[in-house]
């Protein structure tokens, strides 16, 4: 007979599992989220980090978030960037403007183009094939880290293609990898509140699974600090851990707190730096099958990012030559490579530049 009020799981018992290289379960992760001692969480998170990525190196990349369009019909409540079709402020960059931005990125040492926009009903598969070909014809060494699962699912739908057909054609056109955008919280109860017209949890996971089968790798993300519960965060982490076990689609994980300014999603208060560091640490402890954890300097700022290196992160993210989505909500921490290296070095680590595949660059 089960106890009406079973005893709480001991933090020390969970710590012993982590230090003995064992996996923790969802109930134990919830217990860690409710643990008050950040330093103890940091110790366990860094133990996991050293298991997966030993040493003192912290990587970063130089890239550009190229928001080719802001036209989107999905109306996500957490987004300050989109404009509905027909809006006076809606735009689609010309091919010439896109190529100019890519060229500027390459001139500044960038190796990655994070090509993302909205679900624009005027853009079918032929548009993406055409612009990807133009980019790579002109800049063959650029890596296209492009299109969220939501965009890909929609492109397949309006182009009357199956998801594998769509991904095969995008890959042939030059798509190298897929960012983990649009994951937010992979719990449908939450998704129906913050983005009721967006893809479901299973659709997002299926897109990443299908891409992995075609040799297209991706990243995973989590946006927290809005309407979700701690249990929702752990369910999200459990879903991406299970998919990583299944087919290893993810090169990295990144988490950030919701930025409510100028959005339609009202919350009482923004998540604190304490909550960010706690979430980062518990994610690293729970996601024991991920190598790389990126910091979100764009939303958290340089001081919290430096602290995050002590909570399981091994990557400083991207030196962003341009970014418009997060900045649309009034948050903008965009630093250059020199500042990245200074921040990493001052925190006691060795900075190294990388590409999207986490290959180190000279």
**In the chain, domain spans:** 34-353
**In the prediction, which pLDDT does 286 show?**
98
**In the prediction, which pLDDT does 265 show?**
75
**In the prediction, which pLDDT does 330 show?**
46
**In the prediction, which pLDDT does 78 show?**
57
Give CA–CA dist 80/143, Å, rounded: 27
**In the prediction, which pLDDT does 327 show?**
46
Number of other residues whose CB lies within 10 A of the CB of residue 185: 26
Classify domain 34-353 at the CATH topology level: TIM Barrel (3.20.20)
CA distances from residue 4 to 8, 10, 27, 83, 170 in whole angstroms, order as listed: 12, 18, 17, 51, 54
Give CA–CA dist 316/264, Å, rounded: 30
Q: pLDDT 10s per residue in the chain (362 long)?
A: 444 555 678 999 999 999 999 999 999 999 999 999 999 999 999 999 999 999 999 999 999 999 998 878 566 555 666 577 677 777 899 999 999 999 999 999 999 999 998 888 899 999 999 999 999 999 999 999 999 999 999 999 999 999 999 999 999 999 999 999 888 999 999 999 888 878 899 999 999 999 999 999 999 999 999 999 999 999 999 999 999 999 999 999 999 998 877 776 777 788 899 999 999 999 999 999 999 999 999 889 999 999 999 999 999 999 978 645 444 444 455 688 999 999 999 999 999 999 999 999 97
Give CA–CA dist 227/241, Å, rounded: 22
Question: pTM value?
Answer: 0.91
Return the DSSP state at 23.
P
Across the strands, what pairs with 145? 114, 177
| 15: Cβ contacts below 8 Å, ≥ 6 apart | 40, 44
Return the closest-CA partner of residue 312 out of 290, 289, 274, 285: 285
Cα within 13 Å of Cα(232), Cβ side? 18
**In the prediction, which pLDDT does 118 show?**
82
| 245 phi/psi in degrees, rounded to 5 | -60, -40
Contact between 155 and 190 under an 8 Å Cβ cutoff? The reply is no
Return the DSSP state at 38.
H
User: Which DSSP helix (H) or strand (E) runs through 223?
Assistant: strand 217-224
């Amino acid at each position: 007979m089960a106890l009406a009020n079973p005893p709480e799981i001991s933090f020390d018992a969970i710590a012993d599992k982590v230090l003995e290289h064992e996996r923790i379960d969802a109930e134990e992760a919830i217990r860690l989220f409710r643990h008050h001692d950040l330093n103890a969480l940091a110790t366990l998170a860094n133990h996991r980090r050293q298991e997966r990525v030993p040493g003192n190196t912290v990587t970063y990349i130089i890239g550009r978030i190229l928001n080719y369009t802001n036209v989107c019909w999905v109306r996500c409540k957490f987004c300050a960037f989109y404009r509905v079709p027909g809006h006076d402020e809606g735009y689609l960059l010309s091919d010439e403007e896109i190529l100019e931005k890519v060229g500027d990125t390459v001139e500044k040492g960038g190796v990655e183009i994070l090509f993302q926009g909205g679900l624009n009903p005027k853009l079918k598969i032929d548009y993406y094939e055409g612009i990807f070909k133009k980019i790579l014809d002109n800049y063959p060494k650029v890596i296209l880290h492009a299109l969220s699962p939501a965009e890909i699912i929609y492109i397949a739908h309006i182009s009357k293609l199956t998801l594998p057909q769509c991904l095969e054609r995008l890959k042939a056109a030059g798509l190298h990898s897929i960012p983990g955008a649009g994951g937010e919280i992979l719990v449908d109860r939450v998704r129906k509140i913050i983005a009721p017209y967006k893809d479901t949890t299973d659709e997002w996971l299926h897109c990443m699974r299908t891409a992995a089968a075609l040799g297209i790798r991706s990243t995973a993300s989590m946006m927290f600090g809005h309407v979700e519960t701690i249990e929702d965060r752990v369910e999200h982490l459990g879903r991406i851990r299970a998919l990583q076990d299944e087919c290893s689609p993810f090169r990295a994980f990144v988490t950030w707190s919701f930025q409510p300014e100028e959005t339609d999603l009202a919350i009482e208060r923004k998540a604190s730096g304490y909550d960010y560091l706690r979430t980062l640490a518990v994610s690293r402890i729970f996601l024991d099958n991920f190598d790389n954890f990126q910091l979100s300097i764009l939303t958290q700022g340089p001081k919290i990012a430096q602290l995050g290196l002590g909570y399981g992160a091994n990557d400083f993210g991207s030196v962003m030559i341009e970014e418009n989505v997060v900045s649309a909500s009034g948050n903008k921490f965009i630093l250059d490579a020199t500042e990245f290296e200074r921040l990493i070095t001052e925190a006691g680590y060795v900075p190294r530049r990388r590409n999207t595949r986490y290959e180190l660059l000279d």
